Amino acid sequence: KNEVEQSPQNLTAQEGEFITINCSYSVGISALHWLQQHPGGGIVSLFMLSSGKKKHGRLIATINIQEKHSSLHITASHPRDSAVYICAAVPGFQKLVFGTGTRLLVSP
Amino acid sequence: DTAVSQTPKYLVTQMGNDKSIKCEQNLGHDTMYWYKQDSKKFLKIMFSYNNKELIINETVPNRFSPKSPDKAHLNLHINSLELGDSAVYFCASSPRGTRYEQYFGPGTRLTVT
């Protein structure tokens, strides 16, 4: 079992829907990243969280350190949001453990 | 200007060969990384360098040797390539360690035949 689990593995949505991707981890962490991997393969950092909530445009990320859980929300989803979303936990100095990824497909 | 660049983008080679992948960042970051993404798209950290000093060396075969000539460059040399080395290798950098935003290179797709 991976130390960082994501759900769902695959997600399809209609344009405009509200989307939630979950990330749970079994180790103590100091921070957590959300990344987006485009269909072309490039990886972009979306958020780095150590507590609370962050918002950027239509994307919102939350983390509950005590419950070992983070969520990524996309409001008013759009086909260009179709990508793989990956969470990555920071369990120690200079360490990074990746989740298994969630493949999102948003249809027009 | 590209923030994190890698060369080559594609690398096709035969088993047993030795190859290198180069990475450069122009962001002034202190920390650089190599990640491997396997055929199932799972990412794993391989190495981390901070100011030319090796910080993380995950359980990677010693056929893989990173080299950091200066803090803007982190190269990956692979000896005696094996079929299982086929993957996409990403270089990344961050200001100072994994608690900071990661900036990824475009990836190098290595195919070993």
pLDDT of A56-81, one tens digit each?
999 999 999 889 999 999 999 999 99
Query: Are B42 and A31 within 8 A, CB to CB?
Result: no
Tell me the C-alpha distance between A46 and A40, whole Å. Answer: 17
Query: Are B104 and A43 within 8 A, CB to CB?
Result: yes
Q: Is the pLDDT of residue A52 over 70?
A: yes
B107: nearest CA partner in chain A = A42
Q: What does the pLDDT read at residue B26?
A: 96
**B98 vs A35, A42, A90: nearest CB:** A90
Q: What does the pLDDT read at residue B40?
A: 87
Tell me the C-alpha distance between A48 and A69, whole Å. Answer: 14
Give chain B's residues under pLDDT 70: 1
Q: What does the pLDDT read at residue B87?
A: 96
Percent helix, strand, coil in chain B (nearest 5)? 5, 55, 40
> For residue B105, what are its two tokens?
């290179």
Tell me the C-alpha distance between B95 and B25, whole Å. Answer: 11
Q: What does the pLDDT read at residue A78?
A: 97
**A41 vs B42, B56, B88: nearest CB:** B88
Q: Is the pLDDT of residue A27 over 90?
A: no
A34: nearest CA partner in chain B = B101
Q: How many secondary structure helices (H) and strands (E) does chain B include?
A: 0, 11
B32: nearest CA partner in chain A = A94
A48 — contact with chain B (CB < 8 Å)? yes
Q: What does the pLDDT read at residue B97?
A: 86
Query: Are A33 and B45 within 8 A, CB to CB?
Result: no
- Substitution target in B32, B37, B43, B45 with the highest count of A β-carbons within 10 Å is B43
**Range A83-88 average pLDDT:** 97
Q: Is the pLDDT of residue A12 over 70?
A: yes
Residue A41 binned pLDDT confidence (cut-offs 50, 70, 90): confident
Quick one: which of B25, B43, B54, B12 has its CA closest to A99? B43
Backbone angles phi, psi at B67, to 5 degrees: -140, 130
Radius of gyration of chain B (CA): 13
**Range A8-33 average pLDDT:** 95
Query: Are A37 and B88 within 8 A, CB to CB?
Result: no
Cα within 13 Å of Cα(B66), Cβ side? 27
Q: What does the pLDDT read at residue B81?
A: 97
DSSP state, B58?
-
Tell me the C-alpha distance between B77 and B64, whole Å. Answer: 6
| Chain A residues with beta carbon closer than 8 angstroms to that of B92 | 43
Q: What does the pLDDT read at residue A93?
A: 72
Q: What does the pLDDT read at residue B33?
A: 95
